[in-house]
Amino acid sequence: MLTIVLHDVQEYGHAIMLTYQIALSFFGIAIVLALTPGPDNLFVLMQSALGGRKAGLWVVLGLCTGLVGHTTAVAVGLAAVFATSATAFTLLKLAGAIYLLYLAWGAWRSHGLNKGVVQADTVQHKASLVNASTLYRRGIIMNLTNPKVSLFFLAFLPQFTSPLRGSVALQTLSLGALFMLATLLIFGSIAIFSGAVGVYLQKTPKAQLIMNRIAAVVFLGLAIKLALVSR
């Protein structure tokens, strides 16, 4: 189990782990970064508007799980492969772009519910139409297939680590956990807000159709952006 050490001076053999100052400053920066508009929070926004807050929260949990993979990759040095290998970078981003195109096609073909009036409790449980495991997996894939996240972590996390404070790998994992917490708080808030608004927008088939069309365009835009991204 990952333990984040936040003591000003904590001896572990010859190691001194993260200080309060470093942890708090890093967490503050992570909050700001999570608030900055980007593919992930836009993805959460649209999924929550389409499926309700529960759907959005499952996607958020998937995105945070993906961050575990990126953090681990940085800790063991795998992210350096994507930073130096053009082939690996291209394959990963194309996989992500193709998946987003698949989501765009699914959203475009979806016409919502056929009933003229959708009951509030039906809307609130619309996440059941796309089960939780699918939404959770969707978040993981969305995050892991974005090589820019690995490159960002590779450039960002080491700035807050030091061999003088002990295991750099453990420090990296601790920072990754703090980043995930910030992401969970901000993205979770987005999911709850967007899901609440989506309840009202989904009460008519026409509104549902418009939302699905918008989601399809957003997913298409994200796919194109990811496909064109460079190192």
DSSP letters of 93-114? Answer: HHHHHHHHHHHHHHHHH-----
pTM of the model: 0.73
Mean pLDDT calculated for residue range 66-91: 80
Please, what is the angle between helix 86-109 and helix 205-228, to 10°? 170
What pLDDT, in 10s, does the model give residues 172-208? 899 999 999 999 999 999 999 988 877 666 666 776 7
What pLDDT, in 10s, does the model give residues 101-155? 888 888 788 765 444 434 444 444 444 545 888 999 999 998 888 877 888 888 8
Tokens 């949990």 belong to: 61
**Surface-to-core class of residue 139, CB atoms within 10 Å of its CB (0-12 exposed, 13-18 middle, 19+ buried):** buried
Which ranges of 77-204 would DSSP assign to H, the alpha helix?
A: 79-84, 86-109, 120-124, 132-144, 147-156, 168-201
Return mean pLDDT, the chain. Answer: 78
Mean pLDDT calculated for residue range 203-219: 75
